[in-house]
Amino acid sequence: EVQLVESGGGLVQPGGSLRLSCVASGFTFTDYWMSWVRQAPGQGLEWVANINQDGGEKYYADSVKGRFTISRDNAKNSVYLQMNSLRAEDPAVYYCARDAWMQYYDLWGQGTLVGVSS
Amino acid sequence: DIQMTQSPSSLSASVGDRVTITCRASQTISNYLNWYQQKPGEAPKLLIYAASTLQSGVPSRFSGSESGTDFTLTISSLQPEDFATYYCQQSYSHFRSFGQGTKLEIK
């Protein structure tokens, strides 16, 4: 089955860290750019970061640049989001998405919830 | 960064109505514009890519068009399952961006 499955969400204190994982299956992972997209409670979609097929190109939203790091392990068909220095504005459902032909997100995971609270 | 401005932010309509949602890009993005549908508690679903190409499996009542930096999503005859939130998204830049969303509600 073609799917993306995220994990790693949870509740952390402000300033804390969390690492999200997304495991891909059912398709050739190395053919695709991958992205993280988040959605704060009751809010719209916000692109967070993306990474190319070999991990050599990465781009970040200004809101997370310098705090979050996207990476991938093609041997494990996985993409990660290391989130450091978490802030009150970071709580959201974080989705992993497949970037088909660098044009559109045609496959999404179910999302993983991140909370930040003291 | 490319800003995407959607309108309206919310819309009330009835089953069978024709509805149009608009998205404007802050600069040229060619046809690198996609539309997604999201229902509560679910991940977004791709409806249209490259401004006007219907994703496989999406009903033909959905259509997209472009005029310069203005893009339109049209639902020709609303069905009960179409009440959801719709987002546009540009893929012209590596720095992706979404519109703020349009919530389509039942009148």
Q: What is the mean pLDDT of chain B?
A: 97
User: Would you place residue B85 in the very low, low, confident or very high pLDDT band (cuts 50, 70, 90)?
Assistant: very high
| Residue pLDDT, tens place only, B21-37 | 999 999 999 999 999 99
A78-82 long-range contacts (CB < 8 A, ≥24 apart) are A78/A21, A78/A22, A78/A23, A78/A24, A79/A21, A79/A22, A79/A24, A79/A34, A79/A36, A79/A51, A80/A19, A80/A20, A80/A21, A80/A22, A81/A19, A81/A20, A81/A22, A81/A36, A81/A48, A81/A49, A82/A17, A82/A19
Q: Nearest to residue A73, comparing CAs of A34, A112, A116?
A: A34
Min distance A23 CA to chain B CA atoms (Å)? 16
Tell me whether residues B36 and A61 touch, CB distance under 8 A: no
| pLDDT over 90 (residue B82) | yes
| Residue pLDDT, tens place only, A20-77 | 999 999 999 999 999 999 999 999 999 999 999 999 999 999 999 999 999 999 999 9
How many angstroms separate the first and last alpha carbons of chain B? 36
Q: Would you call B35 an interface residue with chain A, using a CB distance cutoff of 8 Å?
A: no
Q: Nearest to residue A35, comparing CAs of B57, B97, B42?
A: B97
Tell me whether residues A44 and B87 touch, CB distance under 8 A: yes
| pLDDT over 90 (residue A118) | no
Q: What is the pLDDT of residue A2?
A: 97
State the best of A5, A58, A103, A112 to mutate against chain B, taking most chain B CBs within 10 Å: A103
User: Would you place residue B14 in the very low, low, confident or very high pLDDT band (cuts 50, 70, 90)?
Assistant: very high
- The mean per-residue pLDDT over the stretch B51-79 comes to 97
Q: What is the pLDDT of residue A65?
A: 98
Q: What is the pLDDT of residue A102?
A: 85
Tell me whether residues B97 and A95 touch, CB distance under 8 A: no
User: Would you place residue A101 in the very low, low, confident or very high pLDDT band (cuts 50, 70, 90)?
Assistant: confident
Min distance B14 CA to chain A CA atoms (Å)? 24
- The residue to which tokens 């190109």 are assigned: A57
- CA dist A43 → A19, A73, B4, B64 (Å): 23, 31, 15, 24
